[in-house]
C-alpha cells in the first residue's frame, strides 16, 4: 500500500488537501473530459502525485459527514483513477477501469471514506482547527504559529477594591459570559512570525515608523509619531532598538500594524483554503484576553498575589528584566524584550501573559458596564486602544490579570506587541464544552 494522504473537510463538504492544490493538473495533466472539469476548480480537490489519484470536489454533502478529517490509502500501482460526484447521492464513483489494481484501490478508498465519515459535521466546522484542540499555522518550513483552544465560559472581569495595586478603571467588576470558544496565540507574535507574514523585519518596521510623516492626533495635538517618540530621522534605527532575534516578541508595532498582520494572515490562510468563510484571525477583545489570562483563576495573577516570588516565575518585569540580559539595552531598566515562552505558562498553555511586552486588544478604551455582559467588545469609538499584561519595563502591579493600559492606536514603542486570536465571525456558536464559571 502507498502512503496515507490526509484531507481536511470544508463546511460545504469539500475535501481539501493543505498547500498542494496549486500543483493540481501540473503533476498529472488529465486527458478525459470529466477529469478536465475537475481541474477547473483545483482549489477544491487534490491530486496524489505518487499514485495519480484524483479526488473531486463536493465528494459528500455536509449532512453526510461524521468525522473532522478523512484519509485514504491507495496501492502504488494505481496509475489513473478518476473521481466524480453524484450530486444527490454524494457517492464516489470511478470513471474508468484502467487496471484491476485501480478497481481494488477505488473500492478501498470508498469503503475507508464511508467508514470514517458516517456522522454529521457541525455546520461551522473550521478546516483543520478543531474545537477543544490546539491549532498550528505553518508559516514556512521552519516558522509556525501555535494557538491554544480557549473554551467558552463565564468569569468576573476586573478586580475587587481590596486588591493591592488596583486601579479605578478595573471596576465596576462585571460578570462576563464568553459564549464562543476561540483560539489564542500561545505566545505573542514573534519577530520571525512577523517577517513571514508581513515580509519585513524589525529594523525595517522601525524605519517605516520613523519616516512616517502622517500627522496623527497624539497627546491632544496632530504630530508625526516620531515627534511623540522623540525619534530622529538622521539617527541609525539601532539607536532605538533592543535586540533583534527571531524569538523575541515583535515590538515597535502599533495597534494598526497588529490589525494589518491579522488581516494579512487571514487573507493568506483563506487563499490556501485552511480558513473557510466565517472565521478570521484578529486581536482578542479585552474580555477574551482577561478570560484567557485567568484560565479559571480569580487572584491577581494566575499563580497568586503579585509578590516577587510569584512574578519571577511567570513574568519579565522591571525587577528582573535586566537579570542575565545580554545585548542592546533600552529604557530605565537597561534591558529589553526577552525571547518568548521562557517563563511558566498558565493552565491553558499561554506564555508571557504578564510582562515582556504589553499586548494590544481589539477594544477602544472605556469604562466597564458592570452587571452581566455577554461577549463585550468595548465602546464604539474612542481615542485610545486597550493593551494588557504589562512589560519588561513596568512595575509589579501592572503584571496582574485585571490591569489595563490604553494608548493611541498609532503609537508604536519597544514596550508593546500583540498576540492573535482565531475567532468565529458567524452568529452561530462553536459547539464545545464550556469552562466552569468563576
Q: What is the band of 173 on the pLDDT scale with cuts at 50, 70, 90? A: very high
List, as one string, the DSSP characters of 103-141.
HHHHHHHHHHHHHH--SPPPTTPPSS--TTS-EEEE-SS
Which has more confidence, 275 or 360? 360
pLDDT, residue 74, reads: 32
d(CA 244, CA 200): 13
User: What domains lie within the chain, and their CATH numbers?
Assistant: 4-116 (no CATH), 135-424 (3.90.1580.10)
d(CA 164, CA 75): 67
pLDDT, residue 275, reads: 83
Residues 206, 207, 213, 214, Cα dihedral to 10°: -30
Average pLDDT over residues 312-324: 97
pLDDT, residue 426, reads: 74
pLDDT, residue 54, reads: 36
pLDDT, residue 37, reads: 32
Share of the chain above pLDDT 90, in %: 64
Q: What is the 8-class DSSP label of residue 40?
A: T
pLDDT in tens, 345-393: 999 999 999 999 999 999 999 999 999 999 999 999 999 999 999 999 9
| Residue that is written with C-alpha cell 480557549 in the block | 150
Q: What is the band of 101 on the pLDDT scale with cuts at 50, 70, 90? A: low
pLDDT, residue 126, reads: 53
Is this model's pTM higher than 0.85 or not? no
pLDDT, residue 178, reads: 98
pLDDT, residue 334, reads: 95
Q: What is the band of 276 on the pLDDT scale with cuts at 50, 70, 90? A: confident
Strands (DSSP E) along 67-204, which ranges? 69-73, 83-85, 92-94, 135-138, 144-150, 153-157, 174-178, 182-185
pLDDT, residue 108, reads: 58
* pLDDT at 56 > cutoff 90: no
d(CA 290, CA 150): 12
pLDDT, residue 94, reads: 39
* pLDDT at 272 > cutoff 90: no
pLDDT in tens, 16-49: 444 333 333 323 333 333 333 333 333 333 333 3
Name residue 136's beta-bridge partners.
Answer: 146
pLDDT in tens, 383-432: 999 999 999 999 999 999 999 999 999 999 999 999 999 999 876 444 34
Which has more confidence, 436 or 197? 197
Amino acid at each position: 500500500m502507498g502512503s496515507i494522504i490526509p484531507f481536511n473537510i470544508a463546511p460545504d463538504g469539500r475535501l481539501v488537501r493543505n498547500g498542494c492544490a496549486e500543483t493540481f493538473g501540473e503533476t498529472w495533466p488529465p486527458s478525459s473530459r470529466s477529469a478536465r472539469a475537475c481541474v477547473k476548480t483545483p482549489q477544491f480537490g487534490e491530486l496524489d502525485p505518487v499514485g495519480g489519484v484524483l479526488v473531486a470536489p463536493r465528494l459528500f454533502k455536509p449532512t453526510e459527514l461524521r468525522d473532522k478529517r478523512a484519509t485514504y490509502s491507495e496501492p502504488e500501482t494505481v496509475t489513473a483513477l478518476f473521481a466524480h460526484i453524484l450530486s444527490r447521492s454524494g457517492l464516489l464513483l470511478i470513471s474508468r477501469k484502467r487496471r484491476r489494481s485501480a478497481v481494488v484501490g477505488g473500492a478501498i478508498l470508498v469503503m475507508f471514506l464511508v467508514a470514517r465519515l458516517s456522522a454529521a459535521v457541525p455546520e461551522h466546522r473550521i478546516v483543520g482547527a478543531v474545537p477543544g484542540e490546539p491549532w498550528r499555522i505553518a508559516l514556512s518550513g521552519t516558522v509556525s504559529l501555535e494557538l491554544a483552544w480557549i473554551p467558552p465560559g463565564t468569569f468576573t472581569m476586573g478586580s475587587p477594591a481590596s486588591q493591592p495595586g488596583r486601579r479605578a478603571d478595573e471596576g465596576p467588576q462585571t460578570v462576563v459570559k464568553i459564549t464562543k470558544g476561540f483560539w489564542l496565540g500561545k505566545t505573542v507574535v514573534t519577530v520571525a512570525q512577523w517577517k513571514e507574514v508581513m515580509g519585513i523585519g524589525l529594523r525595517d518596521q522601525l524605519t517605516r515608523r520613523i519616516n512616517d510623516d502622517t500627522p496623527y492626533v497624539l497627546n491632544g495635538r496632530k504630530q508625526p509619531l516620531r515627534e511623540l517618540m522623540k525619534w530622529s530621522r538622521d539617527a541609525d534605527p539601532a539607536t532605538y532598538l533592543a535586540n533583534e532575534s527571531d524569538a523575541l516578541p515583535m515590538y515597535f508595532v502599533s495597534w494598526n500594524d497588529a490589525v494589518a498582520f491579522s488581516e494579512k494572515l487571514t487573507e493568506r490562510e483563506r487563499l490556501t483554503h485552511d480558513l473557510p468563510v466565517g472565521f478570521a484571525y484578529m486581536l482578542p477583545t479585552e474580555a477574551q484576553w482577561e478570560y484567557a489570562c485567568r484560565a479559571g483563576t480569580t487572584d491577581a495573577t494566575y499563580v497568586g498575589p503579585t509578590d516577587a516570588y510569584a512574578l519571577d516565575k511567570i513574568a519579565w518585569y522591571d525587577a528582573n528584566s535586566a537579570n542575565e540580559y545580554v545585548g542592546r539595552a533600552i529604557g530605565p531598566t537597561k534591558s529589553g524584550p526577552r525571547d518568548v515562552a521562557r517563563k511558566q505558562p498558565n493552565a491553558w498553555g499561554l506564555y508571557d501573559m504578564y510582562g515582556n511586552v504589553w499586548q494590544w486588544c481589539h477594544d477602544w478604551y472605556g469604562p466597564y458596564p458592570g452587571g452581566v455582559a455577554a461577549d463585550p467588545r468595548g465602546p464604539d469609538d474612542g481615542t485610545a486602544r486597550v493593551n494588557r499584561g504589562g512589560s519588561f519595563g513596568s512595575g509589579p502591579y501592572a503584571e496582574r490579570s485585571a490591569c489595563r493600559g490604553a494608548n493611541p492606536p498609532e503609537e508604536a514603542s519597544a514596550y508593546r506587541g500583540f498576540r492573535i486570536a482565531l475567532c468565529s465571525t458567524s452568529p452561530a456558536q462553536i459547539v464545545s464544552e464550556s469552562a466552569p464559571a468563576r
